[in-house]
Amino acid sequence: MNAAFRPAEPAAPRPAEGADGDAGHKAVLEAPDIRRALTRIAHEILERTKGAEDVVLLGIQTRGVTLARRLAARLEEVEGRPVPWGSLDVTMHRDDLRMRPARALGRTDLPAGGIDDRVVVLVDDVLFSGRTVRAALDALNDLGRPRAVQLAILVDRGHRELPIRADYVGKNLPTSKRETVRVLLAENDGRDAVLLGPAASPPPGPARRPAADRGAGR
Amino acid sequence: MSRTFVIKGARILGAQPADLLLRDGVIAEVGTGLDAAGAEVVDADGLVALPGLVDLHTHLREPGREDAETVETGTRAAARGGYTAVHAMANTHPVADTAGVVEQVWRLGREAGYCDVHPVGAVTQGIAGKQLAELGAMADSAARVRVFSDDGHCVSDAMIMRRALEYVKAFDGVIAQHAQEPRLTEGAQMNEGEVSARLGLPGWPAVAEEAIIARDCLLAAHVGSRLHVCHVSTAGSVEILRWAKSKGWRVTAEVTPHHLLLDDALVAGYDPVYKVNPPLRTAEDVAALREALADGTIDAVATDHAPHPAEAKETEWDCAAMGMIGLETALSVVQEAMVETGLLDWAGVADRMSFRPARIGRLTGQGRPLEAGSPANVVLYDPAPRTVVDPSQFASKSRNCPFAGLELPGRVVATFLRGRPTVLEGKLQ
Amino acid sequence: MKRHLISAADLSRDDALLVLDTAEELAQIADRSIKKLPTLRGRTVVNLFYEDSTRTRISFEAAAKRLSADVINFSAKGSSVSKGESLKDTALTLEAMGADAVVIRHGASGAPHRLAGWVRGSVINAGDGTHEHPTQALLDAFTMRRRLGDLEGRKVTIVGDVLHSRVARSNVLLLNTLGADVTLVAPPTLLPVAVDSWPCSVSYDLDAVLPKSDVVMMLRVQRERMNAAYFPTVREYSRRYGLDAERLAKLPEHAIVMHPGPMNRGVEIAAEVADSPRSTITEQVANGVSARMAVLYLLLGGSEPAIGAEVPA
């Protein structure tokens, strides 16, 4: 099948924003599971990077940023020094832009030291087709030249469409392609959970300003 | 051998049904149960009979702009609109400012045979506003010109206007003024007001029209001559005319169908089909014009039928030509604006679209009452159907119709010019 | 669905805020070593300029190129229709080239409306006659917001030739949409007669308005207006309506001075005012690229435009 004619759903794996768990959705991870998963990832990062000396955490908008912030706090607890973290919006680099109406952009904020010669750990909530991560790698390319790039993910649900794998995985979750996986985080959604749902949700409407994380007049 | 027609059951000027016998170019008889040997019967059940309409203001474009209209296509359009006489404006190429040109136009009208063509002579040579044209020669020509106008241009020089008004008294002529103060309208594109302010189009103030009308009324009174004001478009103009008429001055005025129905809000999309001179005004002006036509302050409806080829309108607003076609929709627009609103009955329509314009133009064989002995100039009009205006069906060569897509009432079923049908069963003959 | 940006009134409040927020994110690109995003790869943007305006054309060109669009510059200066190709024929040519968006600058008010009826792509008005210049209003609002924060309730004074200014028209509409209070100051001859129908106040007295202004925007005044009796002399205009150092001192501490350019130094604005730290004139130029990137992205980036209005054909 020609890539351009691939159905929109697998190419747009990011969970719908703001929706709470509805009927038919099964919680496969609850708050304590998520906490444990992040703690484990934090320790793995320390181990793999020998103390996270040069690590910069970059969360992919929107929930990846929340997870990066939490991971940074965990690392600081253990190491006793702050670990730089930031946010990355990959909208402009996505390969599925033309399949949906133009969207509002999220913030890209790099920590003061930048990313040159650092070990960048990209953080996201769900790894599915791999297209978001590919877009993130492209975006990084325009921002600087890290020494290495690693990937931390809360849920890996399989069905990769690109040769991409995660270095740190909170939970491997075997799914069918038609199922949906939604990550809820307290900062964004009021509670922590990972929901497995039966069918694809309808595509979101035209771009609107995400209500929570932007204020007029910065 | 000329054909004889019996029109059965027509509502004459909207009154009770009666029959009309048309024979040898005249109305031979009016009554009920009429019959004549060899007569063709026209069933006019439900139709209104009106005297053949007379247009004081038509641009036939010939000579010079035969790509937009010719005398033949323009008069075919007139016949379809129920007209039996039109006044062909002088702004042709060459300008109709000599006996030669007006006679040419008059002859072309006779040859085409769809309606009487009365050329309007230019007031000044080349409609340049500087020097009087040979008004007397045009009056004495075969075309017997009585209406003179520099239409499209205002005779803005007060001295020239005074002289013209005075001069035409010798042959009972009338100056039909295009009232537009030129300095106040340099580069003007549309009515000056809320819409022009928003659209950023240079404004065309109402006062530019009103100031000239006031001046001309005073001049006409001073020299005791006849003034006719073309295409009145503002409420203020109506007030001035009302005042002048109250003085007993010999001032007449016309309004176009489009100024009775459309307003300047339509310009918002910058479609030049709405670009016209004088410009579409506000809804308040439209209301004042309807009222003035109803009470007789405005004497006549005149189409200002102004054909333009497609390329003159398929441009930016600024570069587009001004003008709209109107012969084939005039009666329907008047029905919509005046009859459906209760402002005018069919007798009123006959007065404003036939009797009075004929009188202003000093036409003797037109605008006569529908009675025995009158020339058989008759329109049969069905006021019942409502249809969407489709310019592709027009007889005019041009398509710059601002009513396209509007649903309007009524349909001309037949037009008789001196007893001969130019339109029958809605079709040109 | 086809949508355009022809008037500032085409933008709802949500649309306008979306453009400004997007511009804010895109402004970061200017600080990076690689000032380019792949977003509009394969899209074609035509700059159709019937008037000389190097700064606006360059701004749109930079915006489109930073988003990786293919840019075709079509300069049709001196475009009297009688001499050259008609706008409609040009439109059909652009259509054949497959333009996804046409940025048009034209001396005739309403030319973008006409164009929108003849092409399939989105039309972006880069200034039409004395009508509108919506992206200028967006970059002005963006500049104000960066300096002053939220525009709700902010007092913006626009001074000069409002009658002939497309910048003024677009700013009045957009600033009203964003909740700012606009006051126009000009000699009565340079205001439209129906200005009272606009959502703003009007004053003839600049000195009375300045102390209450958060923003004062000076419009370019053309010397030729003098010939049509809009004002007696340039000297008198500048004395009554020009912004000099003395008047600048009447503004509140935080207030900023704007000018859409090109300036007539010494006429509507004194050189020392134009060059003062309160002037945002060079910022406006830089912000223009971000604002126009935002417009291009939101009109062309997705499967269908996220902002703008449909124009009835």
Tokens for B426, please give them. Answer: 């809605």
User: In this structure, what are the phi and psi dihedrals at residue B221, rounded to the nearest 5 degrees?
Assistant: -65, -40
Q: Which of A7-16, B320-329, B393-402, C249-258 has the lowest mean pLDDT?
A: A7-16
Quick one: which of C308, C133, C105, C111 has its CA closest to C217? Answer: C133
What CATH number has the domain bearing residue C230? 3.40.50.1370
Q: What is the pLDDT of residues B281-326, one digit of tens each?
A: 999 999 999 999 999 999 999 999 999 999 999 999 999 999 999 9
> Which residues of chain B are within 8 Å of residue C312 when distances are taken between CB atoms?
269
CA–CA separation, C248 vs A95, rounded Å?
A: 50
Tokens for C151, please give them. Answer: 């525009």
Higher pLDDT, C270 or A103: C270
Is position A21 within any domain? no
What is the CA angle B187-B193-B198, rounded to 5?
A: 85
Q: With an 8 Å Cβ cutoff, are B192 and C193 in contact? A: yes
Q: Which helix (H) or strand (E) holds C127?
A: strand C122-128
For residue A134, pLDDT over 70 is answered with yes
Q: Are B188 and B201 in contact (CB under 8 A)?
A: no
Question: What integer pLDDT is reported at residue B133 of this predicted model?
Answer: 98
Domain that includes residue C240, residue range: 134-282
Quick one: which of C111, C72, C124, C119 has its CA closest to C95? Answer: C119
- Same structural domain, C122 and C155: no
Q: With an 8 Å Cβ cutoff, are C151 and A92 in contact? A: no
For residue A21, pLDDT over 90 is answered with no
Taking the CA atoms of C277, C283, C285 and C288 in sequence, report the sign of the dihedral they define: negative
Q: Annotated catalytic, C83?
A: yes
Q: Which of B116, B263, B304, B351 is catalytic?
A: B304
For residue C20, pLDDT over 50 is answered with yes
Q: With an 8 Å Cβ cutoff, are A92 and C297 in contact? A: yes
Give me the residue label for tokens 């005042």: B243
Quick one: which of B342, B412, B344 has its CA closest to B379? Answer: B412
Left, alpha or beta for C6 (phi > 0: left; psi -120 to 50: alpha)? alpha
Q: Are C151 and C138 in contact (CB under 8 A)?
A: no
Total of domains in chain C? 2
Of C7, C82, C85, C109, which to mutate for an interface test with B (greatest number of B Cβ within 10 Å)? C109
CA–CA separation, C281 vs B423, rounded Å?
A: 69
User: In this structure, what are the phi and psi dihedrals at residue A133, rounded to the nearest 5 degrees?
Assistant: -65, -40
- Same structural domain, C188 and C202: yes
Total of domains in chain A? 1
Tokens for C259, please give them. Answer: 């000018």
Q: Which helix (H) or strand (E) holds C125?
A: strand C122-128
Residue C307: C-alpha distances to residues C2, C6, C72, C133, C298 (Å): 10, 11, 23, 16, 6
- Same structural domain, C34 and C149: no
Question: What integer pLDDT is reported at residue A214 of this predicted model?
Answer: 33
pLDDT grade for C83, boundaries at 50, 70 and 90: low
CATH class of B5-48+374-428: mainly beta
CA A20 and chain centroid, separation? 18
Quick one: which of C17, C304, C42, C116 has its CA closest to C125? Answer: C116
Question: What integer pLDDT is reported at residue A1 of this predicted model?
Answer: 33
Residue in C88, C108, C195 closest to B317 by CB: C108
> Which residues of chain C are within 8 Å of residue A92 when distances are taken between CB atoms?
37-39, 67, 297, 301
CA–CA separation, B370 vs B83, rounded Å?
A: 15
Q: What is the pLDDT of residues A67-84, one digit of tens each?
A: 999 999 999 999 999 999
Q: How far is C85 from chain B (nearest CA, A)?
A: 11
Q: Which residue type sits at B307?
A: P
Is position C84 within any domain? yes
User: Counting every residue, how long is chain B?
Assistant: 429
Is position C3 within any domain? no
DSSP letter (8 states) at residue B121: B
Cis omega (within 30 of 0) on the bond before A62?
A: yes
Q: Domain B52-360: give its CATH code.
A: 3.20.20.140
CA–CA separation, A11 vs A4, rounded Å?
A: 10
Question: What integer pLDDT is reported at residue A49 of this predicted model?
Answer: 92
Q: What is the pLDDT of residues C156-197, one digit of tens each?
A: 999 999 999 999 999 999 999 999 999 999 999 999 999 999
Which residues on neighbouring strands pair with residue B7, listed in sequence order?
B20, B42
- Same structural domain, C178 and C291: no
Give the chains touching B; criterion: ≥3 Cβ pairs < 8 Å: C
Q: Are C219 and C257 in contact (CB under 8 A)?
A: no
For residue A9, pLDDT over 80 is answered with no
Domain boundaries, chain B: 5-48+374-428, 52-360
CA–CA separation, A138 vs A58, rounded Å?
A: 14
Return residues 47-106 of C near B (CB < 8 Å): 80-82, 86-88, 106
- Same structural domain, C167 and C107: no
CA–CA separation, B176 vs B122, rounded Å?
A: 10
Question: What integer pLDDT is reported at residue B355 of this predicted model?
Answer: 98
What CATH number has the domain bearing residue A58? 3.40.50.2020
Q: Annotated catalytic, C250?
A: no
pLDDT grade for C77, boundaries at 50, 70 and 90: low
Q: Which helix (H) or strand (E) holds A153?
A: strand A148-156
ipTM > 0.85? yes
Q: Are A217 and C150 in contact (CB under 8 A)?
A: yes
Question: What integer pLDDT is reported at residue B180 of this predicted model?
Answer: 98
Cis omega (within 30 of 0) on the bond before B51?
A: no
pLDDT grade for A200, boundaries at 50, 70 and 90: low
CA–CA separation, B332 vs B334, rounded Å?
A: 5
Query: Looking at the complex, does the CB of residue C30 fall below 8 Å from at least one CB of chain A?
Result: no
Q: Residue A74, Cβ neighbours under 10 Å: how many?
A: 19
pLDDT grade for A8, boundaries at 50, 70 and 90: very low
pLDDT grade for A2, boundaries at 50, 70 and 90: very low
Q: Which helix (H) or strand (E) holds B347?
A: helix B346-350
Is position A207 within any domain? no
Domain that includes residue A75, residue range: 32-95+110-176
Three-state DSSP class for residue B131: coil
- Same structural domain, C168 and C215: yes
Question: What integer pLDDT is reported at residue B35 of this predicted model?
Answer: 86
Q: Which of A110-114, B73-77, B309-313, C84-88 has the lowest mean pLDDT?
A: C84-88
Cis omega (within 30 of 0) on the bond before B278?
A: yes
Higher pLDDT, A211 or A166: A166
Using DSSP bridges, classify how beta strands B26-31 and B40-43 pair: parallel, antiparallel or unpaired: unpaired
Q: What is the pLDDT of residues C24-59, one digit of tens each?
A: 999 988 888 888 999 999 999 999 999 988 899 999
> Which residues of chain C are within 8 Å of residue B319 when distances are taken between CB atoms?
80-82, 108
Cis omega (within 30 of 0) on the bond before A111?
A: no
For residue A11, pLDDT over 70 is answered with no
Give me the residue label for tokens 């409407």: A205
CA B352 and chain centroid, separation? 10
pLDDT grade for A206, boundaries at 50, 70 and 90: very low
Residue in A93, A101, A107 closest to C25 by CB: A107
Quick one: which of B16, B24, B30, B41 has its CA closest to B424? Answer: B41
What is the CA angle B50-B53-B57, rounded to 5?
A: 160
Counting as low any pLDDT under 50, the low residues of chain B are none
Left, alpha or beta for B158 (phi > 0: left; psi -120 to 50: alpha)? alpha
For residue A202, pLDDT over 90 is answered with no
Residues A125-149 have a mean pLDDT of 95
